[in-house]
Chains A and B, each alone.
Chain A
C-alpha cells in the first residue's frame, strides 16, 4: 500500500498558495518521511516557472498533478494582523482528491498547515477508511466560539478539513462523492443546518458529510488530533533556524507574545507566511 501526502494549491492574485504548499510539503516530507504530491492548475504552474522555482518544487514533490482550476467566486475577508483584505478562495475542488491522489492511503493537508512533528504518524498507520480532525485547538486564549465547534448554533459538530486521512476504497468514495453533492447543493444544506452559505467552506461540507454518514449522530471514532491553530489576526513575527515560530497573538484589542516549536500548526495569516518565506524554506 503506497502512502503519501497531498496538498492543493491554486494561486490567486493576492495569495501565493504554491509557495505555501512548497513550505508545507517540504516540512511534511521532512518530519513524516513520506512522499508528497501537489495538485495544482496550469496557471499556477506557469507562475512557478516564471518565479524560477520549479526545481525546488521538483525536489519536494513526487508528483505535480494538473487539474482544472476551480472557480474563484468564493471571496472572504482575510486578515493580516489588523489589516483586512477581501480575497478570492480558490478551494472548491477538495473533494476531487479521491480521484486525483496517486496514493492508496492519503494524508490531505492544507497548504497553510505546517508539520513539525511525527504526531500524525500513528494515525496514518491506523486502520480507518477516513479520519478527520474533530476540533481545533486555538493557540491563543479563550477565542474559540460556537462556530469554531459547530456548523451553526443548532448544527452538527464542526470537523476541520485541514487534515484528512483516507484509504482509497468504496467507503471513502461515498464520503467524497457526498462532499461533492453537498457542495453542489450548498444553499439547501445551509437552510437545513442553518449556517450562512457564504463563503463556501470545505470544513462545513466535510462536517455535514461526516454527520450524515455517521447516521446523523456524533461519532468521534476516527478523529484526528485537534488542529493547533493561529488565526489570521495573529502575526508570525520570527522563524528561528531551529524551527521555533514566534507569534503575536491577537487577544481582542491587544497582542500577546507566544512561541512554539516541534508542534504541527495551522497558520491562517497567509501574508505573514509569505513574509517569512526564506526562513521557512530553510527549514525544509
Chain B
C-alpha cells in the first residue's frame, strides 16, 4: 500500500478513537451534572444556576418551588444552600471536563488516548 494512504488510514483510526473518547467523556460529565434534591431531579446547567441566583438576588431564599427536569414542582427549603451545591457540582464537573478534554487533545496516539 502507498505510504501516504497507510499514514492517512492510521490517522483515521486515531481520529475514530479520539471521537469516541470525546463523546463518552461528554456523557460522563452529563451524568455528573444530574442532581437530586427533595425527590426531584435537576439537570445542572447555566440557566438553572442563573435563575436560582436571580431568585436569591430578589430575596426569594426560603421555601421556593422550582420545576425539575420532569417539570415537577419541587420545594427548595434553602435556596442559598441549593445554589452552593449546584454551583459547586457544576464547576467541579466542568473543571474535570476541561482537564480531561485537554489531555485527550494532547494524546497523539491511540495507546495514549486509552489511558485517559
Measured CB to CB, the residues of A under 8 A from B are 117, 119, 121-123, 125-127, 137, 139-141, 220-222, 225, 228, 244, 246, 249, 251, 256-260, 262-264
A263 contacts B27, C-beta separation under 8 Å:
yes
A122 vs chain B, min Cβ distance (A)? 2
Q: Which residue of A lies closest to B20 (CB)?
A: A258
Q: Which 10 A-B pairs have the closest CB atoms?
A: A122-B36, A127-B39, A259-B114, A258-B20, A256-B16, A119-B31, A221-B70, A257-B17, A125-B36, A263-B28
Q: A221-B72, A259-B21, A264-B31 are in contact. List 6 more A-B contacts (CB 8 A).
A: A117-B31, A121-B36, A123-B36, A123-B41, A139-B20, A251-B16
- Asked if B115 is at the interface of the complex by the 8 Å CB criterion, the answer is yes
The answer for the CA separation of A140 and B21 in the assembled complex, in Å, is 10
Report the separation of the CA atoms of residues A18 and B27 in the bound assembly, to the nearest whole angstrom.
30
Question: Shortest Cβ distance from A262 into chain B, in angstroms?
Answer: 6
For B, the interface residue count at a CB cutoff of 8 angstroms equals: 27
Query: Nearest Cβ distance between residue A38 and chain B, in whole angstroms?
Result: 26
| Also in contact, A141 and B115, with CB within 8 A (given A119-B34, A228-B27, A263-B24) | no
B19 touches A141 (CB 8 A): yes
Chain A residues with CB below 8 A from B113, complex form: 257, 259
Count CB-based A-B contacts (< 8 Å).
69
List 9 A-B residue pairs with CB atoms under 8 Å apart, sorted by A's residue number: A117-B31, A119-B31, A122-B35, A127-B39, A137-B27, A225-B34, A256-B20, A258-B17, A264-B31
Distance A222 CA – B70 CA, assembled complex (angstroms): 8
Binary per-residue interface labels of chain B (1-37) against chain A in the complex, 1 for a CB within 8 Å, 0 otherwise: 0000000000001001101110110011001101111
A220's closest neighbor in chain B, by CB? B70
Which of A125, A220, A246, A264 contacts B114, CB < 8 Å?
Answer: A246
Given contacts A262-B28, A263-B24, contact A257 B36 (CB under 8 A): no
Contacts A119-B31, A127-B39, A221-B70 given; indicate if A260 touches B24 (C-beta within 8 A). Answer: yes
Chain B residues whose CB sits within 8 angstroms of the CB of A141 once the complex forms: 16, 19-20, 23
Interface string of B88-113 (1 = CB under 8 A from A): 00000000000000000000001001
Residues of A within 8 A of B115 (CB): 244, 259
User: A256 contacts B41, CB within 8 Å?
Assistant: no
